[in-house]
Structures are given as structure tokens and as C-alpha cells.
Structure 1
Amino acid sequence: MMAWVRTVSLMLWALTANSVANEHMERALMLMAETPLIDGHNDLPWQMRSLFNNQLSMVDLYTLNSTHTNIPKIKQGRLAAQFWAAYVECDTQYKDSVRQTLEQIDVIHRMCEQYPEDFQFAASSQDIRDAFDQNKTACLIGVEGGHSIDSSLGTLRTMYQLGVRYLTLTHSCNTPWADNWLVDTGSEPEVHNGLSDFGKQVIWEMNRLGMLVDLSHVTEKVMKQVLEISKAPVIFSHSSAYGICAHKRNVPDEVLLEVKNKNGIVMVNFYNDYVTCKEDASIDDVANHFDYIKKVAGSSIIGFGGDYDGVPRVPTGLEDVSKYPDLVALLLKRGWNDDEIKDALGRNLLRVFGEVERVRDSLKATKPDDKPIPLKEVQNPCRTDYGYPNDRSSACTQSLYPLVLVLTLLNKLL
């Protein structure tokens, strides 16, 4: 008799738990139907480069299954807007970083154009809303790494004209004007004490253009400097909470508070190593970061920055982009109210984006900054120097002249 009672009790408990879980999921899907889910960082364009050399004719995003992201998964995940990363490796710096970045910008445009029933290109906060109203995923571009502009404000402006709406100031290498996060680990030397003077020019020009400043991948010193000097709110497109996982790619508490003071946003990264500081993580571990950031600085600075297709490990329960509703349902289970969920889904990013646009409009009468970076800060064998004083035609020619002279003399001796 007692065994039968226990069996019935367990069945009733299971039915009740399942009913509650279904209620959370139904609520999550309803909120996601009302507010666009905007993700700050996805590296599918890099997968197009590494797997197909950007030959989209070889790819079908309806059937591609080797990536975290495809169109059926996007639809299942209710992903309303995505910042696609135009990323190129650090070893392109001082070589062909601009060309390769332009190719990534191009592949994002082509990817969006190839699937017009599902994607709609977006370059403004209003564009995101318009795409959501049409039940399409808004495609936005973020350039991941300051090395991609080759220390050129003209290149920065050109990329903005091509639709780029954020620049991550560094990736995992110092640029000639900013220090990257590896400096804080001690594995790379500090070069600029954070930002150089030209680095500050980059920030001000981004403010003038209306380009979001992304502080993922920079040193803590750069975070604080930019938060102090930027006229517009900043973003962390794919970083998590240092208070949960003490990884230098994450955001310390005092910076979280400063982000709140400046009305910015931290978009939580799902990479296991940044979630738990270990190779293993779960959806609950990611939710811990959302809870922690909300506790420290409030729901007004939180967003989603999954980093899908840019990392080798993602948490159990968040295996691909189809799983966003599961995370939203979990946050509801943990006591998040509807307004807090809507903030994190997209209202925070739309607010930040709108304020960046407002700052841009307020600076409309300000002329573009045309002061170049000092030659000594960028001179290298692969860079010409037309326009700088003394009208030297090529830093490469000067740098290689001693080698040429030595080879000539050796040739004569042999």
C-alpha cells in the first residue's frame, strides 16, 4: 500500500513540475514574441571563411548542421536580431587585415541577401524594430578587433558606411593604440597604459559616427578609460561576470557599476571557460551570471552575447542558438519578472543603440577627425608612409635597404 502511495505521489509531483516548466516556457515564448531578442555576438561569418572560404554558393543555411547556427535553429531560438562578427585573426595585423575584414563584411551582406525571407539587413535601432515587425531576423555587423582598421580613422569611417555598427577595440593582440585583455594576465606586455592618444581619437570618432564602442577583449584599464571619456554608452558584446568566473575576459564588479552609471550594457557570453572557468558548464551556470549582474548593477545593463560559432565549448542546455527560450524560461523560474526579461532580451540594447544615435546626431556639426596616427607608432616593413613629413615613399623600402645592401655585398664576395 505504501509503495503505491509513493508511486502516485511521485507521479503527481512530476506532473506538477512539468506543468510549472511548461508555464515558464509559454511565458518565455510570449515575452519573446513581444520583445526582440538581440544577441551581441555570433561568429557564423568566420565559419563561412574557415569552412567554405566565403563561398556561399557551397552553403545552405537551412540544412547546415556543423555549426551552432542555421536558419531553423534561429527560428526555434526566436532570435530577432544578431550582430554578426566580422572577425579576422590577429596575425593579419600589419598585413592584410583591412582586406580580410572587408571580405567578412561582404559575406555578412551576402548572407543576409541570400535569405530575404528570413533575414533583413539592419544599421539602426529602428531597423531592428522594423525587422521584428516583419518577423525577420535583423542582420547587424560588428567588427571584432581594432587591428581590422589598421590604425586608420578613414578606414573606420568607411566601415561605418558599409554598415558596421560596433568595433571591438582589441581582440587578443595589442593594436598600435590599445592594450588587449591578455595584458591583464601577464602574458603580454602593456604598451599603451590602456589607450594611446590615438586610441582616444578612435573613441571620439566612433561617438561622432554613431558606432557602438565594444569593450569585450580589452584590459580593465581600457574599460575604465573608455567609460570615462566616451560621450555615448558602451557595450560588452560578449563578456560575463568576473565575480562568478575570475577570467580576464569577464567584467569586474566596479566596471559593472560604472557601466550602469553610463547606461551601457554587458551581453553575457556562453563560452564555458568564461562561465565557470572550467571546460564544463551548464545552462544554470549561465543563468548565475545573469543573476549576479542583476544583483550587482540591475537588469538595465544585461543582454545576451552567446559567442556561438566562435568558441569550442558551450554549456549543456545551450548547445546552439535554438536554446535561447530555455534560458529565458529558466530566468523566469528563478524569479525574474516580465520587465526584467524584456530588458535583457532587447530593450537594453535598443536603449543603448538609440542613445549612441542621439549622441551622433548631437555631433552632426563636428567635422571628421583627420589627424593620422603618428608614423613612429605604426611604421613597419609592410606599411608605406605617403603623406607623412619628408615625403618618404615607403617604410618598407627603408627598412629593407640594409638587408638589400648586405645581400649585394655577399653576392659580390661569392
Structure 2
Amino acid sequence: MNAAELHQDAIVIDGLIIAKWNRELFEDMKKGGLTAANCTVSVWEGFQNTINNIVEANQLMEANSDLVRPVHSVRDISRAKEEGKTGIILGFQNAHAYEDQIGYVEIFKKLGVGIVQMCYNTQNLVGTGCYERDGGLSGFGREIVAEMNRVGVMCDLSHVGSKTSEEVILESKKPVCYSHCLPSGLKEHPRNKSDEELKFIADHGGFVGVTMFAPFLKKGIESTVDDYVEAIEYTVNIAGIDQVGIGTDFTQGHDQQFFEYLTHDKGYARRLTNFGKIINPEGIRTVGEFPNLTAALLKRGFSEQDVRKIMGENWVRILGEVWGE
């Protein structure tokens, strides 16, 4: 089977997309052969504004139901593949929307929120992000992890501090993930994970989605899809072929104002980081170019079976373990 046929046949899952939600994006997802994606609906927003974002997302999915469908279970991912649509998993990049209410975890789960990052770059009630002194998982955070385990929401640790991450990995009774990260063995950055951290999450049954966000890649904005595949291979060599998948962190369609919102604490306070220029790796600049990634993995020497695992099958298995269906 050639690369194009394999891509068309495979389950293709992106573990993190924070692009601008519109029909143009959904059309590009179809072009890219995307089976499902974890789409961010909350970063700095509290409960109310996150609900507003979900209302908007639901209306958009309804209006574009020829292209997308909501995902509440792994069965819905299979259905999306059968229907030739892209399944939309709602995800948070911050537990801030839970506020101080453990009961909100289940409420949001019923609305389709299946993956939640414990904190985004800074401290919240649960723990600490990767851009400040790490106080670890709070007592309340342990209760949130237990509730996420109970109702079937995956704990994401991509932007989380290393101490908090370690404690969530040990606390959680279900697999947790870095939905979108890169190895610091290829480039030192506060958002990248050390070899030890990658091995630790994998050894505890967790999962690593590899991102292609250019500022974290070795060659920065000069990177190509082959540099992205190098990072995937590096991660596979540490975490194992069954524990690794894709989490691009596509920001397609957003303007500078959006990045200002992301890179300031709470969306407006102190500046946490400055990404500079952001250009996705050549060959996978847009979601529509996803087939190039399958081709690049094959070219790198990955077997057809391993490519299927990386492109989506591993995500399906691990989500099934967490969601329980």
C-alpha cells in the first residue's frame, strides 16, 4: 500500500488543535484525512465563558454536520471514519473552567469534554504550569484527578510543571498524557520534556503526543516535516512505539492578538513567553497537508503497522482505556 492509500485507510488523530473554528478549517480537516481531533474550547476562560465557547462550538458543528461530528466515545471515532467526517473531541488546556467545583468535571464530560490539561503555563487551584516555580499537585487537585478518573476524562500534562506532572502521573489510576510536547533532548525549552519525563510517563502507562510547534523544534521556523518526524522517532525510541502519537498544536487561522492572549498569564497579566515568528514546518503548514506526514514516516523507515499506530491507533486505544467505551 502506498503512502496516499495508507493515509486514506488509516485512523488519523490529532491530539491537539487550537485553530480558529470555522468551515474553512473543517474543509481542511477533510482534505487532510483527519479522523478525529482534540479541539481546545478553554484556556484562560472560567466556567461561564467556557460554556459559551461550547455553545458556539456545538452550533458550528451542527451547521457543518456534513463535515464533522461530535465525539463522546471511541465508537464515535469509528463512526467518523465510516462517515468520512472528522470527529471533534472537546478539550480544555486548563482546569480553570472547573473553578472550585468538583461536580463540574462530570457536567463538562457530558457536554463532550474528554481531555483536560491540568494547568496552562501557570498556577491554578489544581497545580502549577511550566512557567513558574512548581508547587506540585494540590490537595484539591488530587480530588479533581480522582473525579476525572471516575467520569472518564483524560489528564493532559503538556503545559504542566514537572513536579505537578509527576504527581498527577502517580495519582491517576488511568493513563495520562502529554497531548502535545517535544523532547528537550533535541531542544532545551520550558515546554519540552526531558528523556526522563518521557520515559516516566510511558513506564506508568501514559501517552505522548508529539507536537510540531516550530519554536520548540530543533531548527525552529526553518523546520520541515522531516524534522518533525525526527522528533517523533526520538520520542518513540524512549517511550516505545505503542505510547506515541500526534498532537500538532495547529493554530491555523489565528492572528497575533490570539497569541498575545495565550502568552500572558490569565490572558492579560504578565508576559510568560514570546514565541516570535510562528511558521509550521514546511510540508505540514496546514491541516490539509496531513498526508505528507504519513509519507514522511514511511520514508523514515517506519513500518506500515507502526505508521498506523503513530497516526491514530495508539490514541484510540489509550482514549478507550480512559473513557471506558
Q: Contact 1:247–1:277 (CA<8 Å) still a contact in 2?
A: no
1:71 paired with 2:46, answer no
**Structure 2 residues not aligned, in runs of 5+:** 253-258, 260-277
Q: Name the amino acid aligned to 2:17.
A: N
Query: What is the one-letter code of the residue matched to 1:147?
Result: H
Aligned to 1:229: 171
Q: Do the aligned partners of 2:27 and 2:67 also contact (CA within 8 Å) in 1?
A: no
| Counterpart in the other structure of 2:117 | 168
Deviation track 1:83-106 (CA, whole Å, cap 9, x = no partner) reads 1101233xx5xxxx1111111222
Higher relative contact order, chain-length normalized (CA < 8 Å, sep 6+) = 2
Partner of 2:292: 326
- Give the counterpart letter for 1:320 in structure 2: T
CA distance in 2, matches of 1:147, 1:217: 13
Measured against aligned partners, the alpha-carbon deviations of 1:309-365 in whole angstroms (never above 9, x if no partner) come to 27743112211101111111111011000111111111111111111133xx8xxxx
Are 1:132 and 2:107 counterparts? no
2: CA distance, partners of 1:163 / 1:71: 18
| Partner Cα separation in structure 2 for residue 177 and residue 72 of structure 1 | 37
SS in 2 for 1:307: coil
Taking the TM superposition and a 5 Å limit, the aligned residue runs for 1:125-274 are 125-183=74-132, 189-190=133-134, 193-274=135-216
Where 1:300 maps in the other structure, the secondary structure is coil
Alignment of 1:32-51 (within 5 A): 32-44=7-19, 47-48=20-21
Residue matched to 1:390: none
Native 8 Å contact 1:151 1:177 kept in 2: no
Matched AA of 1:73: D
Q: Report percent identity of matched pairs.
A: 28
Q: Using structure 1 for the length normalisation, give the TM-score.
A: 0.69
CA distance in 2, matches of 1:151, 1:313: 37
Question: 2:315 aligned with 1:349, yes or no?
Answer: yes
Distance 1:168 1:88 in 2: 9
State the one-letter code of the partner of 2:235: I
Shift of 1:228: 1.1
* Pair 1:294 & 2:243 matched: no
Residues 1:30 and 2:30 aligned together: no
Could you say which structure has the higher helix fraction? Answer: 1
Q: Deviations over 1:344-388 (max 9, x none)?
A: 111111111111133xx8xxxxxxxxxxxxxxxxxxxxxxxxxxx
1:107 pairs, out of 29, 44, 56, with 56
Is 99-108 or 78-87 further displaced after alignment?
Answer: 99-108
The alpha-carbon deviation at position 32 of structure 1 amounts to 2.4
Residues 121 and 128 in structure 2, CA contact (< 8 A), matched pair in contact too: no
Paired residue secondary structure (2:282): coil
Q: Secondary structure at the match of 1:254?
A: helix
Counterpart CA distance in 2 for 1:178 and 1:80 is 32
User: Distance between the aligned counterparts of 1:180 and 1:356, measured in 2?
Assistant: 23
The match for 2:67 among 94, 98, 118 is 118
Contact 1:120 1:138 in 2 (8 A): yes
Deviations 1:166-218 (A, max 9, x none): 111111221023000002xxxxx44xx21011111111110001001111100
Judge conservation of contact 1:43–1:87 (CA < 8 Å) in 2: no
Larger Rg: 1
Q: Which letter maps to 2:143?
A: Q
Q: Is the 8 A contact 1:86 1:104 kept in 2?
A: yes
- 1:336 pairs with 2:302: yes
RMSD of the alignment, in Å?
1.8
Q: 1:145 to 1:277 in 2, by over 3 A?
A: farther
* SS of equivalent to 2:13: strand
Aligned AA for 2:170?
E
Tell me how far 1:230 sits from its aligned partner.
0.9
CA distance in 2, matches of 1:42, 1:278: 19
Report the alpha carbon displacement of residue 267 of structure 1 after superposing the two structures with TM.
Answer: 1.0
Stretches of structure 1 that go unaligned for 5 or more consecutive residues are: 1-25, 49-58, 63-69, 184-188, 362-414
Contact 1:246–1:277 (CA under 8 A) maintained in structure 2: no
How much has 1:277 moved relative to structure 2? 6.7
